[in-house]
Structure 1
Amino acid sequence: MSAPTDAQWNLANILDAVASRVPPDRPAIVHGPHVVSWQALDQRSNRVARALLAAGHQSGERVAFLSRNHPGYIEGFIACLKSRLIHVNLNYRYTVDELAGVLEDAGATALLYQAEYASTVAALVDKLPALRTRVCLDGAGQGEATARFQDWAADGDASPLGIQREARDPLLLYTGGTTGRPKGVIWPGHHYRACQQESPLVARRATSLAEHLDLIAANPSPGRVLPACPLMHGAGISSTLAELLNGGTALLLAERSFSAHELWQLAERERASRILIVGDVFARPMLAALDEAPGRYDLSALKVISSAGLMWSEEVKAGLLRHLPWLVLADIYGASEAAGLGYAITTRERSTPTGCFQPGPQTVLIDDDGRLVPADQPGEGWLARGEPLPEGYFGDPKKTAEVFRMIDGQRYSVPGDRVRRHPDGSMQLLGRGSLVINSGGEKIYVEEVEEALKRLPGVHDALVVGVPDERWGNVIVALLQAGSTTPDGAALRSGLTPYLAGYKMPKHFIAVDRLPRADTGKGDYRLAREMAQQALAPA
């Protein structure tokens, strides 16, 4: 599927057109008791876009966001699209130095933030003189130089900007950096949209903006998506944007930390049609909440739960379908560098083994010599996809050349996932190449060991790392979030026997109060390795 190049497919142009066609009082954003209508979203984002331009920011400059899930995040993000400025997602869990590293790498000149981060912003301003505009999303913020987002959004010209845009006006998405320094992936907007349209959940794909608007106008039940993960995570903002481009509604959780009961309450009250999660980190507590109170929530409007970024266990899916048997459960396999690598659909009638999926329409297999494996040939290698693709890593031509490769005259993204292709064409995810543990000459994929561990009674979550060892090179260590009891290694190994070969068994099991995971659900393997080494140091 090639990305349309006509400027009608510019993301901001689509949003302008959608706002002109949907009922003005239709909710666009719901956050606790606060509702932003489609008319208000359109007008407020137009005003903020004008204010950013009036502050001297020019097309292509980067605007960073330091915020939890908040309506102002979405309004500001859309304002960037409309003014041809480039959004930069920041992880609000980062230290000042980590934030400064991303801001400096992106060359950000503006920062939108929540008041709770005012002291952090004060420290950043001292480090980054280029950060000349600061806007507080939910208050007065820090210092006289800070503007109030509410003032920008409430006053001024609310009409469409009427500026010329291009289909490829970009988005900049920074990776989580769980195994290395965060990197910014720059996506041409029309490529980003084309990849969204590859999903098997898309019922009909319009060939023109006029047709797209007709489909929206004829839809009596527009989607209402509830992203459980933060908007600063690529999956969170992508699912939100996808629903808004279709004239739907984004439902945002209001509590500071994830609560499964809050999620189900919001889904019931606002009639959510789709929930977006990131693997078992979200799915397990969601299932536990349903198990605690079967039938408590009216979720009859819910159609789909989709997961992106982490494996989602077959057993947890079966538990959710026990409570909600009409649901479609969708795994979306992708990376910041390559969306739509594959999809797995699970229903009550159709189960999918953990880590198995059908490749996307542009997905290919590349062998260890860098050659394409013929589509009808099974084997093991690197997961990759062809165009439409990102331009590469922002400001990093060396890393771009490593991941975005020319093969037989075509460009492919090879983000670093190992897979096995079966004779029927389906694929099985083996793990991230960067997370492979080499122990005694054997390769062990940490995701496979983690998924096996989470099948065992009493193991709520697990991260697996390799720790240096004189004899084996590395030994496998499992960090377990399994309550206050000391893990019984013999019992755990016995439980793992049906799932793992002997050489894949962890040598050490370490109980921890909390695993090092970001709010996105992704594990911090650098910190996990340090925790394991510290725990084993006396031994």
Structure 2
Amino acid sequence: MPNAPSAEPITIGLAEVHEAIAATRPDDACLVFRDRRFTWGEVTERTRRLANALLDRGLGCHTERGDLDGHVSGQDHIGVYLHNGNEYLEVMLGALKARVASFNINYRYVAEELRYLLDDAHARAIVVHSQFAPVLAEVLPDLAHLDVILQVPDHSGNDLLPGAVWYEDALAAASPDRPNVEWGADDLYMLYTGGTTGMPKGVMWRNGDAMVECFGGSRTATTVEEFVAEANTGLQALLAPPFMHGAGHWMSFRTWLGGGTIFVQSVPEQLDPVDIWTLVESERLNFLLIVGDAFARPLLDELEHPTGRGPYDLESLTVLLSGGAALSANLKVEFLQHLPTVMIVDGLGSSEAGGQVSHVSAGGNASTGTFELTSGNVILSPELDAVLAPTDTTTGWLAKTGRLALGYLGDADKTARTYPTIDGQRYA
């Protein structure tokens, strides 16, 4: 394949890169949620404390990646059963620092769905908002392997689950020192699919590869110092979608890899347009992530007929990115009428392949539904056994090569079907 992207694995891990970036700006804002403004130094300390809390409870990596098959994990797994907030991203990063693989949990699941997910993931630990504690309590008797529960209080006022520890208490009792484990690029980043084409499956990536292919890290950096040198994007980003979906936390880590600041909306339980636009205005944010028309319509309605204290001053906003669902052309036109200097970007990707293609609308020109194939992206035949020529009009499968996920946790057959090898080249 001409100009195919590198399939060479990234040899540097996300934990090491994040700490190195933090060391260059320890007092800068890293993560903002409501009235809590955490500096890079504070996020480093808090995620180290979480890592040590997990290690103290016996969690970690038990079998090195080595020659493990792509559907096999050698690490313990921790579920993230939370609304958006500082805790969500702290758990993802802190788990990585303990060599524990975090995974996302859809907080809309009923008990039977939650039971399936936690069993499929072989979860040893979970971090849960109190609001969801009653559903978790229903399934705990069936999950003997889940023995570590950290609970985050919220507006529900629900009591601490039996055997659980309050999240902040666990951090306070743990060491702030760098965990005594070796960080690396092989440790897992795991993302559960939504189950739209079957039961949810845990997609496993080497975190080093995910750092580049999913989180948008530098494709040219080969040392920690080079990653740090490129952490200069100046992003001040509000990622409005739930972090339980890839779009939300992918762009969160992209913001951090660029040395920027992540802002979390004050009302994460639902889409609150007044909350979103007020935060963009008051913090002078330059980047907003949404999910297609479902987010766009309410946000546009608030701009057209403000119910808050609008009209809003949104001149700071330069990029509006829609990921996870299509953003219709007519809604792009409306956004550009209100925000004429904004660049609107459609992003398309998948849990299995990472980011794939994008489409940009700006300056009054708006369209939707077409993408140019970039290097590494091809169309495969319907039978997934051949790469279609650019001139072929056959409807096929969008596929990507290069650095890809390892496979689906515990499912060798589906891994083989989703990642076919054609003429010696692996695709997703």
TM-score normalised by the chain length of structure 1: 0.71
Report the 3-state secondary structure (helix = DSSP H, G, I; strand = E; otherwise coil) of the residue aligned with 1:345.
strand
Asked if residue 363 in structure 1 is aligned to residue 377 in structure 2, the reply is yes
Distance, in Å, in 2 between the alignment partners of 1:88 and 1:269 is 33
Distance, in Å, in 1 between the alignment partners of 2:82 and 2:14 is 22
Q: Map residues 139-178 of structure 1 onto 2, 5 A cutoff.
A: 141-178=159-196
Report the CA distance between 1:137 and its aligned residue.
2.2
Does structure 2 conserve the Cα–Cα contact (< 8 Å) formed by 1:62 and 1:108?
A: yes
Partner of 2:421: 406
Partner of 1:183: 201
Q: Map residues 17-416 of structure 1 onto 2, 5 A cutoff.
A: 17-22=20-25, 24-59=26-61, 60-138=75-153, 141-196=159-214, 205-216=220-231, 219=232, 222-255=234-267, 256-293=269-306, 296-352=311-367, 354-369=368-383, 370-375=385-390, 377-413=392-428
Distance, in Å, in 2 between the alignment partners of 1:197 and 1:378 is 32
Q: Unaligned stretches of 5+ in structure 2? A: 62-74
Does structure 1 conserve the Cα–Cα contact (< 8 Å) formed by 2:17 and 2:227?
A: no
Aligned residues: 404
Partner letter of residue 116 of structure 2? G
Report the 3-state secondary structure (helix = DSSP H, G, I; strand = E; otherwise coil) of the residue aligned with 1:380.
coil
Deviation per residue, 1:306-338 (Å, 9 max, x gap): 111111100000100111111111111111112
Partner letter of residue 56 of structure 1? G
Deviation per residue, 1:358-391 (Å, 9 max, x gap): 2232100112242101245554311111121101
User: Bigger relative contact order, structure 1 or 2, given CA contacts below 8 A and separation 6+?
Assistant: 2
Indicate how the Cα distance of structure 1 residues 28 and 197 shifts in structure 2: closer, same or farther if over 3 A, else same: closer
Report the CA distance between 1:168 and its aligned residue.
2.3
Indicate how the Cα distance of structure 1 residues 376 and 162 shifts in structure 2: closer, same or farther if over 3 A, else same: farther
Deviation per residue, 1:372-411 (Å, 9 max, x gap): 0124555431111112110111111111111110111110
Report the 3-state secondary structure (helix = DSSP H, G, I; strand = E; otherwise coil) of the residue aligned with 1:359.
coil
Distance, in Å, in 2 between the alignment partners of 1:361 and 1:175 is 25
Report the CA distance between 1:154 and its aligned residue.
2.8
Give the structure with higher Rg (CA): 1
Partner of 2:14: 11
Indicate how the Cα distance of structure 1 residues 357 and 81 shifts in structure 2: closer, same or farther if over 3 A, else same: same
Deviation per residue, 1:74-123 (Å, 9 max, x gap): 11111111111001110111001100100000000101011112212222
Distance, in Å, in 2 between the alignment partners of 1:2 and 1:325 is 37
Q: Which moved more, 1:183-192 or 1:82-91?
A: 183-192
Indicate how the Cα distance of structure 1 residues 365 and 248 shifts in structure 2: closer, same or farther if over 3 A, else same: same
Distance, in Å, in 2 between the alignment partners of 1:288 and 1:179 is 33
Distance, in Å, in 2 between the alignment partners of 1:382 and 1:263 is 36
Partner letter of residue 241 of structure 1? F
Does structure 2 conserve the Cα–Cα contact (< 8 Å) formed by 1:306 and 1:330?
A: yes
Higher strand proportion = 1
Distance, in Å, in 2 between the alignment partners of 1:267 and 1:66 is 27
Q: Which moved more, 1:77-86 or 1:120-129?
A: 120-129
Q: Map residues 467-506 of structure 1 onto 2, 5 A cutoff.
A: none
Partner of 1:491: none
Report the CA distance between 1:187 and its aligned residue.
1.3
Distance, in Å, in 1 between the alignment partners of 2:290 and 2:30 is 20
Report the CA distance between 1:196 and its aligned residue.
4.0
Distance, in Å, in 1 between the alignment partners of 2:116 and 2:138 is 13
Does structure 2 conserve the Cα–Cα contact (< 8 Å) formed by 1:133 and 1:146?
A: yes
Report the 3-state secondary structure (helix = DSSP H, G, I; strand = E; otherwise coil) of the residue aligned with 1:358.
coil
Distance, in Å, in 1 between the alignment partners of 2:162 and 2:140 is 13
Partner letter of residue 252 of structure 1? V
Partner letter of residue 44 of structure 2? D
Partner letter of residue 300 of structure 2? L
Distance, in Å, in 2 between the alignment partners of 1:197 and 1:68 is 20
Does structure 2 conserve the Cα–Cα contact (< 8 Å) formed by 1:122 and 1:142?
A: no
Distance, in Å, in 2 between the alignment partners of 1:206 and 1:107 is 35
Report the 3-state secondary structure (helix = DSSP H, G, I; strand = E; otherwise coil) of the residue aligned with 1:108.
coil
Does structure 2 conserve the Cα–Cα contact (< 8 Å) formed by 1:65 and 1:87?
A: yes
Indicate how the Cα distance of structure 1 residues 27 and 138 shifts in structure 2: closer, same or farther if over 3 A, else same: farther
Q: Which moved more, 1:240-249 or 1:372-381?
A: 372-381
Distance, in Å, in 1 between the alignment partners of 2:382 and 2:123 is 38
Does structure 1 conserve the Cα–Cα contact (< 8 Å) formed by 2:16 and 2:224?
A: no
Report the CA distance between 1:234 and its aligned residue.
0.8
Distance, in Å, in 2 between the alignment partners of 1:19 and 1:155 is 23
Deviation per residue, 1:478-524 (Å, 9 max, x gap): xxxxxxxxxxxxxxxxxxxxxxxxxxxxxxxxxxxxxxxxxxxxxxx
Deviation per residue, 1:417-461 (Å, 9 max, x gap): xxxxxxxxxxxxxxxxxxxxxxxxxxxxxxxxxxxxxxxxxxxxx
Deviation per residue, 1:114-163 (Å, 9 max, x gap): 11122122222112111100001237853341112102223442132252
Report the 3-state secondary structure (helix = DSSP H, G, I; strand = E; otherwise coil) of the residue aligned with 2:395.
strand
Distance, in Å, in 1 between the alignment partners of 2:356 and 2:256 is 23
Q: Unaligned stretches of 5+ in structure 1? A: 414-539
Distance, in Å, in 2 between the alignment partners of 1:198 and 1:366 is 25
Indicate how the Cα distance of structure 1 residues 243 and 349 shifts in structure 2: closer, same or farther if over 3 A, else same: same
TM-score normalised by the chain length of structure 2: 0.89
Distance, in Å, in 1 between the alignment partners of 2:177 and 2:216 is 33
Does structure 2 conserve the Cα–Cα contact (< 8 Å) formed by 1:321 and 1:327?
A: yes
Report the CA distance between 1:254 and its aligned residue.
2.3
Report percent identity of matched pairs: 32
Partner of 1:532: none
Report the 3-state secondary structure (helix = DSSP H, G, I; strand = E; otherwise coil) of the residue aligned with 1:56.
coil
